[in-house]
Amino acid sequence: MQTTEKQTTDKQNSAETMIEIKGLSVNFNTQRGVVKAVRNLSFSIPNGKTLALVGESGCGKSVTAHSINQLLPMPPGEIVSGEIWFRGEDLLKKSEKEMQKIRGVKISMIFQEPMTSLNPVFSVGRQIADVFLTHHALSKAEAWERAVELLNLVKIPSPAKRAESYPHQLSGGMRQRAMIAMALASPDPGLMIADEPTTALDVTIQAQILDLMVSLQQRIGMSLLLITHDMGVVAETADHVVVMYAGRKVEEGDVFSLFREPSHPYTLGLMNSLPSNEKYRGASRLEAIPGTVPDLLSIGEGCPFMNRCRYATEICGKEFPDETRLSENHSAWCHNLSAVKESK
């Protein structure tokens, strides 16, 4: 396991790497037992690129995102092992005070529900200005001006007036833009983490927000970690993709390779259930992946996808597969890749 992981990361290190996650394992200690939310996860994001972390609800992608800037509620949550390397430092070894200097400064984050993610008793301008005040030495008036500028940057019409609005006075799309503006108030943007930023929005608005994020990212030159369960979003925005299932990484690669040759049975299932997929022309039903996510409390050492997998064999129940290199920028973790490939 060690050597193959190292190969992958070395490859990605040839470009400048913004952030590298190594062997992250996160548990939740609940009353009913220990939930293994993330197991031995590793990936890295190069400078200025977008990595999409895909999987269904509960697969651990959100937990991973929250682990990066230590926003996990730590009593039930516990980072069992792993390292997160960012600008030459291991984030997991940092204290809360040190993390406060990184959050909103070098790493910013936006969340899924803009309605509940903005403070209802302060105007949006005030909230953004507060971020400025925290990280820059500005006067209140200057901070407010910068806030209005940012609102303009995220394409909110009449930004000066809008800045005085309260969150519940704005539409969902505008709130999300305001959140992005808040995230952009960081003085030294390196990484932006977007946790399902468009899931709660109308489809029409989704595209706009995604466009906005991509254009901002390119303009500022930061890396973007995009958490989503929507393959359509992945296709539009990502440079690299990591597919997760039940806490583990099952496939990884650059976006073109992945879409051209999805290799892991789960990835296939995800692709196949896309409404935009060609094979649905004229068909009346979508293909869903049969079965349900396994109980993370009692999960064993084998491949977690086994109980839903058409190609499962005996070894799948016993141990988790090693990495199989499909090409330079594409790997999958499955015992039966050849069987999968043949039946496609």
Partner 1 sequence: MGKYILKRLGLLIPTLLGVITLVFFMIALSPGDPARVMLGERASAEQLARLRADMGLDRPLHQQYFSYLGRIAHFDLGKSITTGRPVVKEIMELFPATMELAFFAMLIASVAGIIIGVISATRRNTMVDYVSMVGALFGVSMPVFWLGLVLIMIFSVFFDFFPTGGRMNIRYYMETITNFYLIDSLIAVFKTGDWHYLGSALKHLILPAVALGTIPLAIIARTTRSSMLEVLKQDYVKTARAAGIPERKVVYRYALKNALLPIITVIGIQFGLLLSGAILTETIFAWPGIGKWIYHSISARDYPAVQGGIIVISTVFVLINLLVDILYSVVNPKVRLK
Partner 2 sequence: MNESLIQNGNIIEVKDPTPFQESLHNLKQNRAAVAGLVIIALFLLVGIFAPLLSPRSPYAQIIADRTLPPFSPGYLLGTDDLGRDMLSRLMYGARISMVIGVVSVGIAMGFGMLIGVTSGYIGGLYDKIVMRLIDIMLAFPYILLTIVIVAVLGPSLFNAMVAIGISQIPRYARLVRASVLAEKENDYVTAERSLGASPLSLMFVSILPNCLAPVSVQATLGVGEAILSSAALSFLGLGAQPPTPEWGLMIASSREFITNAWWIVTFPGLATLFAVLGFNLFGDGLRDILDPKLRD
CB 28 to partner 1: min, Å: 16
CA distance 86 to 107: 10
- The stretch among 10-18, 112-120, 207-215, 326-334 that binds partner 1 (CB under 8 A) is 112-120
Rule CB under 8 A: is residue 132 a binding residue for partner 2? Answer: no
Q: Which partner from the list partner 2, partner 1, none does 57 bind, CB cut-off 5 to 8 Å by kind?
A: partner 2
CA distance 335 to 73: 35
Site string for partner 1, 77-106 (x = CB under 8 A): -------------------x---xxxxxx-
Q: Which partner from the list partner 1, partner 2, none does 117 bind, CB cut-off 5 to 8 Å by kind?
A: partner 1
Q: Cβ(255)–Cβ(239) under 8 Å?
A: yes
Q: What is the DSSP letter of 319?
A: S
Rule CB under 8 A: is residue 252 a binding residue for partner 2? Answer: no
Q: Give the footprint of partner 1 on residues 31-70 (CB under 8 A).
A: 69
CA distance 39 to 319: 13
Return the ∠ at Cα 147 (arms to 144 and 152), rounded to 5°.
Answer: 130
Q: Tell the burial category of 209 from Cβ atoms under 10 Å away from its Cβ (0-12, 13-18, 19+).
A: buried
- The stretch among 10-18, 129-137, 210-218, 275-283 that binds partner 1 (CB under 8 A) is 129-137
To the nearest 10 degrees (0 to 180), the angle between helices 203-220 and 172-184 is 10
Q: Which partner from the list partner 2, partner 1, none does 268 bind, CB cut-off 5 to 8 Å by kind?
A: none
Beta bridge partners of 21: 43, 84
Rule CB under 8 A: is residue 136 a binding residue for partner 1? Answer: no
Q: Count residues binding partner 2 (CB under 8 A).
A: 22
CB 201 to partner 2: min, Å: 15
- The stretch among 40-48, 76-84, 111-119, 232-240 that binds partner 1 (CB under 8 A) is 111-119
Single residue of 21, 53, 63, 340 touching partner 2 by CB under 8 A: 63
Q: Give the footprint of partner 2 on residues 65-94 (CB under 8 A).
A: 65-66, 71-73, 76
CA distance 155 to 142: 20
Rule CB under 8 A: is residue 30 a binding residue for partner 2? Answer: yes
Question: Of 80, 13, 42, 65, whose CA–CA distance to 249 is shortest?
Answer: 42
Using CA atoms of 11, 15, 17, 21 in order, give the dihedral in degrees to the nearest 10: -10
Residue 78 tokens read as 């516990």
Rule CB under 8 A: is residue 37 a binding residue for partner 2? Answer: yes
Q: Tell the burial category of 176 from Cβ atoms under 10 Å away from its Cβ (0-12, 13-18, 19+).
A: buried
Could you count the other beta carbons within 10 Å of the beta carbon of residue 315? 13
CB 340 to partner 2: min, Å: 29
Which chain residues interact with partner 1 by CB under 8 A?
69, 71, 75, 96, 100-105, 108-109, 111, 113, 116-122, 127, 130-131, 134-135, 166, 168-169, 179, 182-183, 185-186
Which chain residues interact with partner 2 by CB under 8 A?
28, 30-32, 35, 37, 57-58, 60, 62-63, 65-66, 71-73, 76, 111-112, 195-196, 296
